[in-house]
Amino acid sequence: MTDLAPWLILSYLVGAIPTSYLAGRMFRGIDLRKHGSGNLGATNLYRTLGWKYAIPVGLFDIAKGAVPVVLFAPQVSASERVAVACGIAAVLGHVYSVFVRFRGGKGVATAAGVMLGLAPYAVLALVVLWALIVFGTGYVSLGSIVAAALLPLAVWVLHPGARGLLPVIGLVAAGIVWLHRANIRRLLAGTENRFGRRGAAAPPAP
Lowest mean pLDDT among 21-25, 37-41, 167-171, 182-186: 37-41
Q: Comparing C-alpha atoms, which of 54, 87, 59 is closest to residue 73? A: 87
pTM > 0.85: yes or no: no
Q: Comparing C-alpha atoms, which of 77, 57, 84, 64 is closest to residue 12? A: 64
| Whether residue 78 has pLDDT greater than 70 | yes
Residues 6+ apart with CB under 8 A from 26: none
Give the C-alpha separation, 170 to 49, whole Å. 33
pLDDT one-digit tens code per residue, 122-163 = 999 999 999 999 999 989 899 999 999 999 999 999 999 889
Q: In which element (H, E) is residue 72 found? A: none
pLDDT at 196: 58
Q: Of residues 14 and 41, which shows the higher confidence score?
A: 14
CA 61 to chain centre: 7
